[in-house]
Amino acid sequence: MNQDKETLLQLEYMEKCRDLLMEKSITGSMPTFHIFTSGCQMNVLQSDSVTAWMEKMGCIRHDSEDADIIIYNTCTVRENANQKIYGHLGLMKNLKKKNPNMRIVIFGCMMQEPHVVEKIRKEYPFVDLVFGTHNIYKFPELFYRMETSGGQIIDIWKDTDEIVEGLPSSRKYFFKTGVNVMFGCNNFCSYCIVPYVRGREKSREPEAILEEIRGLVSDGVVEIMLLGQNVNSYGKTLAHPITFAQLLERIEEIEGLKRIRFMTSHPKDLSDELIEVMGKSKKICHHLHLPLQSGSSRILKEMNRRYDKEKYLELVRKIRAAVPDISLTTDIIVGFPGETEEDFQETLDVVRKADYDTAFTFIYSKRTGTPAASMPDQVPEDVVKDRFDRLLALVQEKGREISSRFTGTVKEVLVEEESKEPGIFTGRTEHNLLVHFPADKEMIGRFVPVYLKECKGFYYFGEMAKGQEA
């Protein structure tokens, strides 16, 4: 279907939903909704889109779970996220008994797994609407079906070729937001469920991305985060292919945009061209998230990552040569099937050498349907736990040392919000380092020079550097 036509159709459904909700309202007030999001930045962005639709329908956003409509946007990368959702649904059952008018909506990655949908159908029949990752743009239509039917609506698509443009969005911060550049993943890392639940890689047209960013900038956005499972392979499948580095150069030209971030980068696709563009750029932030997953070349092969320890460390060297003060962050999995103590030592070795500011560490989680799930030699739980603790201790020790390197300098901070402590505000440097400092509300959304007085581990305490240039 023509994309504009699809957006118009959904706008029509949105109007119909609004009329219906108004008709149904006994008190005259519109229903409240609460949206619970787990998982990555992509999910956050998709929740923003659903929030925008709900608000356009006249519903009122509510901060806690005692709302009329509860919406779950789910993640299934690791098993514990799934368990959390089932736990929530268990609680919802009682709430819904007390308030039968309550509606429960659940969508996202976890719903792309047939066994999950089967479980919801059988064990949680009180859930009103279930949909996946490919038909989120049909939210108003799905919502309308839910409101006009008596039973549970389940609508899951296996995959889609379509990227629908021009959908509404409602962002948390007026001055920064994420922007999708691509959807899906073709890499099939052997432990990962994402390619099965997000489908094949699809890039947005560069013009659509540029137009969206121009619109955001004219609406007050100064910082954007370009999002994709593997942004380094952006553009390869377009009718007129372009590289991610070329896209970045075009985004850089947008006047008024001050900071560009992106994630996630796959080491196998991080090109010299991209490193060069990062080195030249005035707007690309000096932060790179470069998932390592394992430091052992043997395990990396089993993981189907298509790089080895040496290639990874060589990349780190090249990036640091082009952008000497760059902050590197990473993801690491412990306990992949067959991982030996020697393999694990290789991971520790990379952590010692790569000088990460932060590393997100995960215990390997067996995902049904992935090749790793049926690999022999799954590592015993106590061994994994012991390795995880040792890795975490090293990551924290190194992280404290590395991220304190800016102590005593002045950095430009984009002020985000007031912290829990009144009068103390938080913001981020271009290195993505968190800074707490005394300020006032007017500073929110502005760049201010901050003297980084003390590094407290994962954040700095600072003070505004009056009269100094960042």
72 near ligand 5AD, rule: CB under 6 A: no
Verify binding: residue 365, ligand 5AD, rule CB under 6 A: yes
Pick the stretch among 114-122, 124-132, 183-191, 388-396 that binds ligand SF4 (CB under 6 A).
183-191
Under 8 Å CB-to-CB from 371, ≥6 apart: which residues?
A: 188, 190, 304
* Stretch in the footprint of ligand SF4 (CB under 6 A) among 59-67, 103-111, 190-198, 210-218: 190-198
230 contact choice in ligand 5AD, ligand SF4, none (CB below 5 to 8 Å, kind-dependent):
ligand SF4
- Least separation in angstroms between residue 191's CB and ligand SF4 is 7
Residue 362 binding partner per list ligand SF4, ligand 5AD, none, with a CB distance cut-off of 5 to 8 Å that depends on partner kind: ligand 5AD
Residue type, 121: R
Q: From CA 222, how far away is CA 217, in angstroms rounded?
A: 6
- Which tokens is 414 given? 């984009």
Residue 189 or 448 with smaller CB distance to ligand SF4 = 189
364 binds, among ligand 5AD, ligand SF4, none (CB under 5 to 8 A by kind): ligand 5AD
Region near ligand SF4 per CB under 6 A, out of 35-43, 180-188, 350-358, 449-457: 180-188
CB atoms within 10 A of CB 87: 10
**Cβ pair 247, 209 in contact under 8 A:** yes
Task: Give yes or no for residue 300 binding ligand SF4 (CB under 6 A).
Answer: no
Site string for ligand SF4, 192-231 (x = CB under 6 A): x-xx---------------------------------xx-
Whole-number minimum distance, CB 187 to ligand SF4, in Å?
A: 4
Residue pointed to by tokens 């098993």: 79
Q: Which 37-66 positions form the footprint of ligand SF4 (CB under 6 A)?
A: none
For the CB of residue 78, give the shortest distance to ligand 5AD in the complex, in Å.
5
Backbone φ, ψ for residue 467 (5° rounding): 75, 0
Find out whether 171 and 224 touch, Cβ atoms under 8 Å: no
299: partner contacted, choices ligand 5AD, ligand SF4, none (Cβ within 5-8 A by kind) = none
Contacts of 19 (CB under 8 A, 6+ apart): none
For ligand 5AD, which is the closer residue by CB, 10 or 264?
264
Q: Cβ 193 to ligand 5AD, closest distance in Å?
A: 7
Interactions with ligand 5AD, residue window 168-197 (CB under 6 A):
191-192
Q: Which residues bind ligand SF4 (CB under 6 A)?
A: 185, 187-189, 192, 194-195, 229-230, 266
Q: Which residues bind ligand 5AD (CB under 6 A)?
A: 77-78, 191-192, 291, 293, 331, 333, 362, 364-365, 367
